[in-house]
Amino acid sequence: MGKVLIIGAGGVATVAAVKVAKNSDVFSEIMIASRTKSKCDAIAKYIADKGIRSDIKTAQVDANDVEQLVALFNDYKPELVMNLALPYQDLTIMEACLQAGCNYLDTANYEPEFPSAEAYKDAVLPHHDDQPHFEYSWQWAYRERFEKAGLCAILGCGFDPGVTSIYTAYAAKHHFDEMHYLDIVDCNAGNHHKAFATNFNPEINLREITQEGLYWENGEYIVTEPMAIHKTLNYPNVGPKESYLLHHEEIESLVINYPTLKRARFWMTFGQQYLTYLDCIQNLGMGRIDEIEYKAPKADGTGDEVVKIVPLQFLKAVLPNPQDLGENYDGETSIGCRIRGIKNGEEHTYYVYNNCSHQAAYEETGMQGVSYTTGVPACIGARMFMLGLWNKPGVHNVEEFDPDPFMEELNKQGLPWHELHDIDLELD
């Protein structure tokens, strides 16, 4: 039994809070904190109204402010901090955990909010200084400090990254002597019945998919133009969907932890309507992440005031809130790993995946399937920590732990997995 503090109040945090509350056998106390306390209160009320748990505490905190975080951690004294805020805030929360003596878990790796040569001076992966870029190097730099403090940091415990990395670890442990080719495939075949919307924070979502593609082959990273490589793949219970090669963070750690991989790639599906809107957003300059000046009339009519806005942040404010998509969202997601390698001297293929219904996710947690597939693994990772199954000093990606108990919990917690052996993976 342990105390957990959830930072964040979006869709993923809501799902994680619901599931953590349901796992009362290992979580003795729960607090939810974010910049806007009323959002935390709403999550706590939702959980109480569902009859799950009525003792959840809430707090206000600015996750960009290390001093505020440390003060909250020292006051509440959680055993584990679950960072379900924005990737920009990973390093401040990790720093606060070190200062307050708390263990740490997140679902997405760090990226600087504003791209620049200075922001990226410690970057390792190929990148352009004026484009969004994320990688694990900034968080891996904390390894020695967490080790010396006797604290554990678990990185990337969502679905992708997260479950996909654990699928890979499970395949390596049980089905292959050597893995040679890994393709992570992410399909959202749902329909939210909006002209255009993103399934998680629009700012993060659009930054991710509009940056250059990146994949690993023959010992080096290959850079591509954004979404330049694509092909049709068939997904279980869904059918054929056009799938686009993207840069995704789990590739970075997996090729290190599984050095026999000759190639590792990440694919995600997009519909034509989505891509058309995305193209318009880019062409109109609304995808920009640099500040621009705008002359805005004052509310009292006394003249104009020059203000600075980031176009993508403005766009985020007018797009549908991902948390509000669930009620009318139908269809399902299908996410998994397609792996080719050697077992007992013979080549084999292996496909392990989960399909998640948006409506089933909404009925249980009030959120759509994309939030569900990230929030549930975060809860399971926290459960693994509390049970002592995933707890060793340092900074670790999820595939560095035993995958078996996590895989078992996926079946119990709402994300059952399926596997297919020796099939055509559709990927050369």
d(Cα 71, Cα 419) in Å, to the nearest integer? 46
CA distances from 242 to 226, 249, 273, 292 (A): 15, 21, 12, 35
d(Cα 39, Cα 368) in Å, to the nearest integer? 17
Q: Is the pLDDT of residue 402 over 70?
A: yes
User: What confidence score (pLDDT) does residue 326 get?
Assistant: 61
Query: Which range, of 11-15, 90-94, 286-290, 332-336, averages the lowest pLDDT?
Result: 286-290
Q: How confident is the model at residue 193 (pLDDT cuts 50, 70, 90)?
A: low
DSSP result, 314-353: HHHHHSPPGGGSGGG-BSEEEEEEEEEEEETTEEEEEEEE
Q: Is the pLDDT of residue 22 over 70?
A: yes
Q: How confident is the model at residue 175 (pLDDT cuts 50, 70, 90)?
A: very high
Q: What residues contact residue 303 under an 8 Å CB cut-off, 6+ apart?
A: 297
Q: Is 176 exposed, middle or buried (0-12, 13-18, 19+ CB in 10 A)?
A: buried
The answer to whether the Cα torsion of 38, 43, 44, 49 is positive or negative is positive
- Segment 79-98 mean pLDDT: 96
Q: How confident is the model at residue 197 (pLDDT cuts 50, 70, 90)?
A: low
Residue type, 196: F
Residue 6, beta-bridge partner list: 32, 82
Whether 361 contacts 326, CB under 8 Å: yes
Tokens representing 112 are 């600087």
> What tens digit of pLDDT does each residue of 329-382 get?
889 999 999 999 999 999 999 999 999 999 999 999 999 999 999 999 999 999
Q: Is the pLDDT of residue 423 over 90?
A: yes
- Segment 6-28 mean pLDDT: 97
Q: Which residue has the higher pLDDT, 7 or 130?
A: 7
Largest CA distance in the chain: 79
User: What confidence score (pLDDT) does residue 190 get?
Assistant: 76
Closest by CA position to 20, among listed 411, 357, 402, 382: 382
Q: Which residue has the higher pLDDT, 171 or 323?
A: 171
**Average model confidence (pLDDT) across the chain:** 91
d(Cα 226, Cα 265) in Å, to the nearest integer? 14
Phi–psi pair at 372, nearest 5 degrees: -65, -45
Q: Is the pLDDT of residue 387 over 80?
A: yes
Q: Is the pLDDT of residue 146 over 90?
A: yes
Q: How confident is the model at residue 277 (pLDDT cuts 50, 70, 90)?
A: low
